[in-house]
Amino acid sequence: MCGIVGYTGKRQAYPVVIKGLKRLEYRGYDSAGVALINEGLKVYKKKGRVTDLEEAAMGENLSGHIGIGHTRWATHGEPSDRNAHPHVSQSGNIAMIHNGIIENYDKLKKDLLAKGYKFKSDTDTEVLLNFIDDIQQNNDCTLEEALRIALRRVVGAYCLLLIHKDDPETIIAARKGSPLVIGIGKDEHFLASDASPIIEYTKEVVYVNDYEIAIVRPDELILKNLGNEKQTPFITRLDMELAAIEKGGYDHFMLKEIFEQPQTIYDCLRGRLDAGKGKVILSGIDQYAQQIMNAQRIIILACGTSWHAGLVAEYIIEELCRIPVEVEYASEFRYRNPIIHKGDVIVAISQSGETADTLVAIENAKEQGAIILGIVNVVGSSISRKSHAGAYTHAGPEIGVASTKAFTAQLTVLTMVALKIAHDKGSVSTERYMHLCQELAAIPEKVELVLEKADEVKALAEKYKDASDALYLGRGYNFPIALEGALKLKEISYIHAEGYPAAEMKHGPIALVTETLPVVFVATKDSYHEKVVSNMQEIKARKGKVIALITEGDTVSAAIADDIFELPQADEIVAPIISTIPLQLLAYYIGVAKGYDVDKPRNLAKSVTVE
């Protein structure tokens, strides 16, 4: 949630901060603002997109070599100019931006109101800022020390950037539970929620850890813990190119990322899968391979689209590895009192590697002796650092809010993990193992074939764009793909959609079927195919509109459906990676046909770093 950017150095800060906010707008776009130090503290903020902020600030004196900026996804307080960040302390000395939620803000606010403080916004951020300011004034201490004292009282998650009007070179930053990366240049530093605003200027970065405070000046970066002890910054080199965060000629990032999938899946497989020799090499889990093989239980924790990837993995792991698997919403798991045994394997799946609920859930499980495997996309992210082992998905930056290439990369990695464990454990025959290795290696080419027929999906989108509801059905490995397809349609087109196991249709959802209801079947040839065909006939008998994703040559399904999209033949274990592509395209094209901004769907943010 929320995007933060900071700069201190030799350049003009405003252009750097504004460009950075545009790179981070996928994290939140309810409002945006910038604070600069230029003969005093200057703040410009506006409800709406970053472009609205630019227009509002046009003609103002925007010079200055230090600045912080924020693009907001509203938590406390509705989207408005007054609730936009940065906020300024009542004294007028400090400006602050904040990503996260301060849970005990109400008590802090009551204490400050009793002292005579007045508030101009409805946000928890302004409360924390005035709390810090109050500490500094009453203790005659530095801003750094006031922040350290305040954070010992704060309950919640935060990534904070502060500047003081009397210190035109220093940004003070701190994090707990929300990401912060610092780019290192020559006599300049860049701060951001992720690396996308930084890559244009430097590839050397430091990922700030929880409970650390950063004191950042043009020629100096100091890291300290809350005990005021200096920490050694660990410099990482970014493996990312600027072109990866540009649209590259596509109308939207979402479309670009859908069409990148043949390459991103190949990148995910490269160096890991040798289909000819039947080798799956995952060095990130080698150290714990034996414990995984001997595990009595695997628990997969995820949220949103990543949870759907976990459901597919449940089918695959149980089938190939013969290990019981549970898939849990991390947001529910963390608040239950789950039974965790020492040696249980927890697989945490997250595109950003910063999902707040997943982070807390794995921390709790780790304390109880579980082995944590992280499946994440972002190198250096919090989940990757808190995991015992794991694997990166190598999908590259995903800017579109609705996950596409990250999802198929997750499926690819999880399939490789299952293959490796099954082979090492001996729970799959050599013949079956070799066949699946070859099937997985063929996926990028088959995805390419699907994308070559994107215009067929576009035609379907035009036909069904005015539907008010949709039903997505699948069985077995394709049930989670039905869930994912429905989620994509909801996210991008704002059409109400439900995903269900096809067999459950008769237990309620069939009551929705009318001659205007599109019912999307993921009906590729697999163990459940005959049953799915029967479910299609039940919909047709009630005059529903059947859209079927079918395997090439399937004349039986084609004869029943109103509309079909043919997919290349693939083993049922890897077929979900292919089946999801036309559903992504369908959601995209319907969203575009309805005139929506598919890269920034309303109310959504890319990574959920607050509860």
Which residues have a catalytic role annotated? 2, 606
Q: Residue 149: exposed, middle, or buried by beta-carbon count in 10 A (0-12, 13-18, 19+)?
A: middle
Task: Give the end-to-end CA distance of the chain in Å, rounded to a whole number.
Answer: 10
Closest by alpha carbon to 150, among 102, 118, 100?
A: 102
Q: What is the 3-state secondary structure (H, E, C) of 12-54?
A: CHHHHHHHHHHHCHHHCCCEEEEEEECCCEEEEEEECCHHHHH
Distances (CA, A) of 163 to 68, 107, 145, 147, 587: 8, 25, 14, 12, 43
CB 395 within 8 A of CB 239: no
Whole-number Å distance between alpha carbons of 376 and 587: 24
* Dist CA 378 CA 383 (whole Å): 9
Task: Give the E-state strand segments of 541-611 in sequence order.
Answer: 545-551, 563-567
Tokens of 133: 């300011």
Distances (CA, A) of 409 to 343, 374, 378: 27, 14, 12
Please give the backbone phi and psi of residue 492, each rounded to the nearest 5 degrees, phi first: -100, -35
Which residue(s) pair with 549 in the sheet?
Answer: 522, 565
Coil vs helix vs strand at 339:
coil
Residue 208: CA count within 13 A, CB half-sphere: 37
Maximum alpha-carbon separation in the chain: 80
> 556 and 525 in contact (C-beta within 8 Å)?
no
Q: How far apart are CA 439 and CA 332, in angstroms?
A: 35
Question: Cα(433)–Cα(435) distance, rounded to whole angstroms?
Answer: 5
Cα gap 567→318, rounded to integer Å: 26
Q: Going edge to edge, which strands form the sheet with 345-350?
A: 325-329, 298-302, 345-350, 371-376, 389-392
Token output for 10: 């030799």
The structure tokens listed for 354 are 């910063």
Q: Which of 382, 345, 380, 349 is nearest to 366 (CA)?
A: 345
Residue 454: how many CB atoms within 10 A of its CB? Answer: 17
Alpha-carbon gap, residue 179 to 103, rounded angstroms: 18
Cα 517 to Cα 500: distance, rounded to the nearest angstrom: 15
d(CA 341, CA 360): 18
- Computed on alpha carbons and rounded to an integer, the radius of gyration of the chain in Å comes to 25
